[in-house]
Structure 1
């Protein structure tokens, strides 16, 4: 109970105590604020006009400090505009002078009931948010399982490049972290790298699994797989942000590559990162038609193609990768 007039303060304290409430008294807003900072209260009943710190000022201080307490303001007829301002600031109610103790007791009861209802609603909202969060995590886990199944199916179809998608996604994550990218962007790049060849679903086995060189017509079909992958990923809302990376993962930094003539920063960062690690994995993995080259030979080739096939800045970051980390990834998915 906050009022600078001692008789009114004492009368209201006695009335509220008789109604079963525990009451503390303060002669101005500054004293009340000190009490509020020391212990929790459910409700403040405060006069508007007071020395040192008035009722509106006390409400502002409580709001600024994020204190969880309801407010009832006592105001004269000529101060209704101030009372309305206080309501807009979050006060629960205001009472016009003159008032009776019984009236104040009723206002206090209603304010406390409203406070309890608000707390109950907040608890229900928090519980619902927690349920939604748990459901979203389960959905994400299920989506991740589906991604793994899809990648496993692609790898099983193209035996010669088994685990290639897993390796390049891990290499891409490693390079992204080295560059200091944030977690959401790294996760997007991981998914894009993991699914970069999903468009090969649309390539005939006779072309995809052909042991010899492809002729021009076969190459034309093979080069369409980024566009097919782009269309597939655009069908899933959770994968749509990675679609552009899949579309442009064979684009070259200088504007060559396929299926379009994108260059420089027209190519998404994820696709530029992927281009480097994809080439590295291709060179350092055995193929039916050649043996894997050493890391050093692969790095020399990547340096040679910096500025043409690869973003030169990303090449610099990649060259700083610890060979032990590259070994670890390769050995986990070989």
Structure 2
């Protein structure tokens, strides 16, 4: 084996540091370490591995030379049965040197070298050099793992963001399930199968909505409804009770093998299972279950990312189910639609305590203004519905944004400004509500074209929306808020007049004040 001076060793270590400072993956770090260890120690075989935290084993991923490959061939894989005695392995391997890679008390990996047959072991200087290499490798591995983790998290968040945008464009439940499954494939290392069950709170049972195994869709009706079991009995029931994920690493961890694990086309049995709750507005919509043929496949990071995706989909499912229920109940809703819409409006006000009573006040004003504008009774009815539902799109805005006590940042404003689009997607499929869409969809457009969501200007903006824009500002400023008291009428009048011709239609502003003056 090679013996160098202390000066030479310092040069080698400096060169190693320079190579490890490059933007490397954990596997690339180990390949560099193998190369340098072979060079400085003069050995013909080096193998290095990464500690798999989920499975608690070393995965050997880098080798140098024929000796390194020989080491890899003789070291049993992590899931192999312990059928060979250590003495037998040592007899075949010959003398080796091995050192662990540690970050404090946490294992990172391992480094092993094959010592030439004519050497009994390592000299003190060689052992010290091997330990120095291991220390450098450990720190480089930690940095590489952190960088890889950060990049993976960014990729995961981008996938979830893409899912959110796609879900905003559909109310088809089957499409929602497919999109959620597609993002699960991106977020997880392996998905052999998936089952989505929806929770019926009234019947206290879970109903299969989507199932796939080995890439083949299964008929959800083949899965009988599961009654909600008491806490501590049944994985899916526990997820619903606790609203927390459940991770099963292998068959030996489960006492419910017959009801949880499945056999694939190849005969392989799924080993790992991950259950996450699907939550929308603090309510359990269902449970997302994914499975893998690999033991210990899923960890808490996977549960966290998949849980985010499941919650995004849960909101979309709730919205889609709401729309579908409304469509199916068309005849009944037509008979008592005013009371139903008033209930929705009241529910929205309850969600945002700052605006309680706002929907009813602006609806009453909108009806008065519509009549003053000469609209027909039918048109006035659509204005009434539109006013009641003007903020229905906020159902799709997360509570953390909608109920934030302070100012919204740029990203939060972007999410808030999507609520007219959510309103359109929610209401447009309902045929008899389409004439009422002008207010929910366009009431944030501005006369000068600087509004949203479409940047309409002037008379491109529907008249009902132009009227409601004035009413919305009037009621908001005339009402108390936690962050400010209500403005007096004179100040509000001056503010609205100041917006006339820029944000607001001047003719509508004049008509509005005539209605206000007549009413008072």
Deviations 1:100-143 (A, max 9, x none): xxxxxxxxxxxxxxxxxxxxxxxxxxxxxxxxxxxx99753422
- Determine the structure 2 residue equivalent to 1:151: 345
Give the counterpart of 2:473 among 256, 261, 279.
279
How far apart in 1 are the matches of 2:346 and 2:353? Answer: 11
- Determine the structure 2 residue equivalent to 1:306: 500
Aligned to 1:259, the other structure's residue is in SS state coil
- Determine the structure 1 residue equivalent to 2:384: 190
- Determine the structure 2 residue equivalent to 1:260: 454
Higher normalized contact order (CA 8 Å, seq sep 6+, divided by chain length): 1
Two-structure CA RMSD over aligned residues (Å): 1.7
Aligned to 1:282, the other structure's residue is in SS state helix
- Determine the structure 1 residue equivalent to 2:94: none
How far apart in 1 are the matches of 2:438 and 2:468? Answer: 12
Query: 5 Å matches for 1:89-104?
Result: none
Deviations 1:11-36 (A, max 9, x none): xxxxxxxxxxxxxxxxxxxxxxxxxx
Alpha-carbon distance change, 139 to 208 in structure 1, aligned in 2, over 3 angstroms:
closer
Kindly name which structure, 1 or 2, has the bigger radius of gyration based on alpha carbons: 1
Give the counterpart of 1:233 among 427, 434, 457.
427
- Determine the structure 1 residue equivalent to 2:160: none
Matched, 1:203 2:203: no
1:323 deviation in Å?
4.6
Aligned to 2:486, the other structure's residue is in SS state coil
Q: Check whether the contact 2:359–2:387 (CA below 8 A) recurs between aligned residues.
A: yes
- Determine the structure 1 residue equivalent to 2:439: 245
How far apart in 2 are the matches of 1:153 and 1:139? Answer: 17
How far apart in 2 are the matches of 1:147 and 1:261? Answer: 28
Alpha-carbon distance change, 214 to 178 in structure 1, aligned in 2, over 3 angstroms:
same
Instruction: State the aligned residue count.
Output: 191
TM-score (normalizing by structure 2): 0.36
How far apart in 1 are the matches of 2:447 and 2:404? Answer: 29
Bigger proportion of residues as helix: 1
Q: Check whether the contact 1:252–1:263 (CA below 8 A) recurs between aligned residues.
A: yes
- Determine the structure 1 residue equivalent to 2:418: 224
Aligned to 2:346, the other structure's residue is in SS state helix
- Determine the structure 2 residue equivalent to 1:140: 334
TM-score (normalizing by structure 1): 0.55
Aligned to 1:156, the other structure's residue is in SS state helix
- Determine the structure 1 residue equivalent to 2:369: 175
1:145 deviation in Å?
2.2
Q: Check whether the contact 1:230–1:244 (CA below 8 A) recurs between aligned residues.
A: no
164-173 vs 277-286, which deviates more? 164-173
